[in-house]
A = this chain, B = another copy of it.
């Protein structure tokens, strides 16, 4: 595999997505459609335009690779590689004007995530991990990502997007961790995983995710030295329950609490 070609393709995709999402962020005419008959699962023209732009780049540069995208589904490939795309993770944040949404570009082989980008266009931060890279590029330049070490559970900061996500059992399990840490914060969407890779927080726990929500964050966090599994300690890249931790010690402590 030509790593440089992967980096250039992913970078071109992230740039293309930015050019579609950022002009619509906080724009007056943005009217979300609702994907659900019962409830509210918003999708906007920004989501669709961003994924179309990324798929067009793959069609030109990487026609042998498979694609799994949130808005336009799966397309088969022959290379053994699959691009897993979420054009706007955190559409609810996007339509609220909050800069915690992001474009997720993940790459998997038969073993799981091998590379990913978490891109936040409004703050201008691109978090990137895998194939030897672990870095964030912003207006201030490029610097290394790395998780924070040596924080005990009772001094840890825990993130989750929604306090009421998941089933009653899942909320109870989350609560067992939340009551042991020093600080729990909500509402950060994919940006929370980026903050873990940046060494700013120690744990992210979520439930009810899709593969496109988590493949890119896994690659970034693992490249930064962290650990991501499901709530049984197994692979998380298929979605569902996710436990991301800065260190093996925090991962083990949180896993034990989640399992009750």
Contact = CB atoms under 8 A, between A and B. Distances in A.
A195 interface: yes
Nearest to A148: B28
A227 interface: no
A200 B26 contact: yes
Contacts of A183: 40, 42, 92, 95-96
A186 interface: yes
Contacts of A123: 99, 122-123
A195 B122 CA distance: 14
Given A123-B123, A198-B26, A185 B96 contact: yes
A48 to B, nearest CB: 20
Residue with the greatest number of chain B CB neighbours at <10 A, chosen from A28, A96, A201 = A96
Contact of A185 (B98, B157, B198, B200): B98
Interface of A: 26, 28, 40, 42, 92-93, 95-100, 122-123, 157, 159, 162-164, 182-183, 185-188, 191, 195, 198-201
7 contacts: A92-B185, A96-B159, A97-B198, A98-B185, A98-B188, A98-B191, A186-B187
